[in-house]
Structure 1
Amino acid sequence: MTAPSVAIAIPLMEKTFTEQTSAQVEMISTLPNLGVLLMIMFSTLIAHKFGIKRTIMGGLIMYLVGGLTPVFITNYTIIIIARFIMGLGIGLFNPFAVSLMYRFYKKQELADMLGYQNTSQNLGNAGFGLLLGVLVLAGWKTAFAGYLIAMIPLLMFGLFVKIPIEHRAGENKKAPKQSTNVHVFMLAFLMLIIFGMFMMMTIKLASFVTAQHITTPAIASSILAGMGAASMFASMPFGKISKFLGNFILPIALLGISIGFMIVATATSVLVVTLGVIICGIFFGWVFPQAFYRAAQIAPANSGNLSTSIILVGINLGAFLSPTLVNGVANLFGNDQPYFVLMLCSWGFAILTIIMAVYTIVDKRNHKLNQKPEEI
């Protein structure tokens, strides 16, 4: 979650890299996403050859080296290469941030841990953003020093985490062959659409409040921070909520997000905008953990890493393509104003709500017919 946070230093970097365009400087922030997408699908194969722990440790080292290089180097090309390497490192360990839980936890305990994982993810993102906000006061190079935080998981994971049932070199047993199915790809496509639309709240809110003469972009930034906090707290009790709502938690979450977007799109005051954004954050806090909990249900046996990778590709691709896809649809309606784009996303989430509610009802009925009494 930390790779794009360095965008806070872009105005300062533009003063240093005067020969580069604004888009080229902005690429310093966004390029890691390309590395993540390229490496995610190979992380499982690499882990089979070198072991999961070595793969994660290697990814963290690449993250650390790529993240810290701009602290010591001012050459634009080298920094771009370093950021790409950083993205490759994230792509190596990112799938295991979720799929390892499939090895350690099962059933309700897994649902609880996926909620805690999403909580820690949002907390880390918010905390790192605050850290960069302080470091950037000393210059853009100092801001990149924030990536020293990689030393924490590098040391703690390396020293204390033992991965169960890891097949190491020299063992006679072969690691189970991983496979996937159409349900995993459908879930990944669903996440692409959800994240593609949801990102528009982050992208358009500042423009919306400015165009509607509600408040300033700075206040909009603070409101978005509140959305992250709401998502963090909402994901804490995910396990208990999931136990009560089952797979209906996703259509309920999509309905809540739709309502939040509609409130923001029709808002005329800061208070109403904040209310809508917080509602979006609360219900979005259930989407990420539910995606991976659902993956654990539908993926073939012993295929957690591959399934997680496919879903992460969908999520990252959705976030990456968000402006292109949503603005493209808005242009088809002949209206690209921020309020209309947000309303369009509200309609999109409402349609997804209906589709997922019907699918969940049908799936639950089929599950009852096909399931053995002792299965869950």
Structure 2
Amino acid sequence: MKTLTKTHSWLFKLSLLSISILAMTAPSIAVANPLLEKTFAQESTAKIEMIATLPNLGVLLMIMFSTVIAKKLGVKRTIMLGLSLYLVGGLVPILIPNYVAIVVFRFLMGCGIGLFNPFSVSLMYLFYQKQELADMLGYQNTAQNLGNAGFGLLLGILVLFGWKAAFSGYLIALIPLILFGMFVKIPKEHAQRTGEKTVKQHVNGQVFLLALLLLLVFGMFMMITIKLASFVTIQNITTPAVASVILAVMGATSMFSSIVFGRLSRAIGNYVMPLAFIGIAVGFFIIAYSTSVVSVTMGVVIAGLFFGWVFPQAFFRMAQIAPANSENLSTSVILMGINLGAFLSPTIVNAIAKMLGNDRPQAVLIMCGIGFVVLTFVDAVYTLIDTKNHPHNLTKGVVKHDN
């Protein structure tokens, strides 16, 4: 097809991947919380922290409706609308330094992410197949981690000039607005597939199970980000500032590990996921029993290394189990599981820790490590059974199950 002749060029791939650099950047503004607390002294600490986490609600809401909106507007217009909302939601707080206004536009930013993020993955299934698809899913995860790590470092510099300067970092949205807008064209057949009433997308039980799995995974993994600073402080290992640097290293590690996902997938197929889980568990245990900065960093790096394979493997797996012509809806369900897990992480994990009688950071990290060990065995057994029923899924490209 003429519309697909340039999809293998690096310019097209970079343009397609560019929207992924924004996916994980919204919470990074938490670096400005101390300055925001001084500016909005009348607001509680919880309300200030909500500025960083509120976009998750917008993401969850719009992910549910992104496919419906795409049917009305078209996929590319929906993505461009999402990118525009992200940009506006990120920059308006600079112009209107009012708490309520900031909260409203942060929510709109999340809505923007919810509009474009599902398509950042589902479009991969349209343009690529088999090994190239696995490679691109790895690159997509790399782009997310690159955006997260790079944006975090950028905000670390900008915040030195005030919290308004930190919000100016969201000008980064201009990159995908220009690249995706200029160089990515959606084939007509895809527009028909997402726009015609004759095509009704649906989700099967396997997709819901995968979404539940990722809810648990992201709910537990977020504990590294949430608990590391308090852990190193309570254990008298180092300062929260050093913990922030260590977390940045984790993002970079995940980025580089995801680059080799394609080769790893070709070698061991769907066993990538249980391998990732056991590696993350090891990282959690090393952190929990650390007594020095070196060992904490080692544990965080190991966890980040193996976590870099979770996201691309999840969507590569989804391509195998999702019903035909339902990639967009299936992607939305998966992303809802991920975002819901991340959003509810502190509430659920801390509640379970309290039920077990110990909610100190070390105990929470150990509990999550045990959780990943359990997921390792569960997913390994599932993969073993599934491989016997669908042997092509182990080493080959995307092979749909019967639905």
Instruction: Tell me whether the two structures share a fold, i.e. TM-score over 0.5.
Output: yes
The match for 2:106 is 83
Task: Judge conservation of contact 1:167–1:174 (CA < 8 Å) in 2.
Answer: no
The alignment status of 1:294 with 2:294, answered yes or no, reads no
Per-residue CA deviation, residues 248-289 of structure 1 (Å, 9 max, x unaligned), is 010011011111111111111211111111110110000010
Question: Residues 374 and 90 from structure 1, CA distance in 2 versus in 1: closer, same or farther, beyond 3 angstroms?
Answer: closer
The match for 1:210 is 233
Alpha-carbon offset, residue 9 of structure 1: 0.9
Measured in 1, the distance between the counterparts of 2:393 and 2:149 equals 44
Letter in 2 for 1:36: V
Alpha-carbon offset, residue 95 of structure 1: 0.3
Measured in 1, the distance between the counterparts of 2:290 and 2:243 equals 13
The match for 2:4 is none
Q: How many percent of aligned residue pairs carry the same amino acid? A: 66
The alignment status of 1:259 with 2:282, answered yes or no, reads yes
Measured in 2, the distance between the counterparts of 1:331 and 1:375 equals 42
The match for 2:63 is 40
Letter in 2 for 1:164: P
Q: Work out which of the residue numbers 128, 146, 154 in structure 2 matches 1:105.
A: 128
Letter in 2 for 1:228: G
What is the TM-score of this pair, normalised by structure 1?
0.95
Task: Judge conservation of contact 2:319–2:398 (CA < 8 Å) in 1.
Answer: no
The match for 2:301 is 278
The match for 2:13 is none
The match for 1:120 is 143
Measured in 2, the distance between the counterparts of 1:214 and 1:346 equals 20
Q: Secondary structure at the match of 2:390?
A: helix
Per-residue CA deviation, residues 210-266 of structure 1 (Å, 9 max, x unaligned), is 111111111111111111111111000101100101000100110111111111111
Measured in 2, the distance between the counterparts of 1:271 and 1:2 equals 27
Question: Residues 239 and 64 from structure 1, CA distance in 2 versus in 1: closer, same or farther, beyond 3 angstroms?
Answer: same
The match for 1:183 is 206
The match for 1:17 is 40
Letter in 1 for 2:101: I
Question: Residues 270 and 41 from structure 1, CA distance in 2 versus in 1: closer, same or farther, beyond 3 angstroms?
Answer: same
Letter in 1 for 2:27: P
5 Å matches for 1:1-376? 1-166=24-189, 176-368=199-391, 376=399
Task: Judge conservation of contact 1:167–1:173 (CA < 8 Å) in 2.
Answer: no
Task: Judge conservation of contact 1:167–1:175 (CA < 8 Å) in 2.
Answer: no
Task: Judge conservation of contact 1:52–1:166 (CA < 8 Å) in 2.
Answer: no
Task: Judge conservation of contact 2:320–2:398 (CA < 8 Å) in 1.
Answer: no
Measured in 2, the distance between the counterparts of 1:215 and 1:131 equals 23
Question: Residues 375 and 340 from structure 1, CA distance in 2 versus in 1: closer, same or farther, beyond 3 angstroms?
Answer: closer
Measured in 1, the distance between the counterparts of 2:86 and 2:196 equals 32
Per-residue CA deviation, residues 308-351 of structure 1 (Å, 9 max, x unaligned), is 10000000010111111111111122111111111111110001
Measured in 2, the distance between the counterparts of 1:64 and 1:272 equals 39
Question: Residues 279 and 172 from structure 1, CA distance in 2 versus in 1: closer, same or farther, beyond 3 angstroms?
Answer: closer
For structure 1, list consecutive stretches of 5 or more residues without a partner in the other structure. Answer: none
Task: Judge conservation of contact 1:48–1:175 (CA < 8 Å) in 2.
Answer: no
Letter in 1 for 2:230: S
Task: Judge conservation of contact 2:224–2:365 (CA < 8 Å) in 1.
Answer: yes
Alpha-carbon offset, residue 40 of structure 1: 0.3
The alignment of Structure 1 onto Structure 2 pairs a total of residues equal to: 374
Alpha-carbon offset, residue 164 of structure 1: 2.1
Letter in 2 for 1:296: A
Supply the RMSD in Å over aligned alpha carbons: 2.0
Measured in 2, the distance between the counterparts of 1:25 and 1:184 equals 36
Per-residue CA deviation, residues 44-101 of structure 1 (Å, 9 max, x unaligned), is 0110111000000111111111111011111221121111111111110010111110
Alpha-carbon offset, residue 176 of structure 1: 2.5
Letter in 2 for 1:61: S
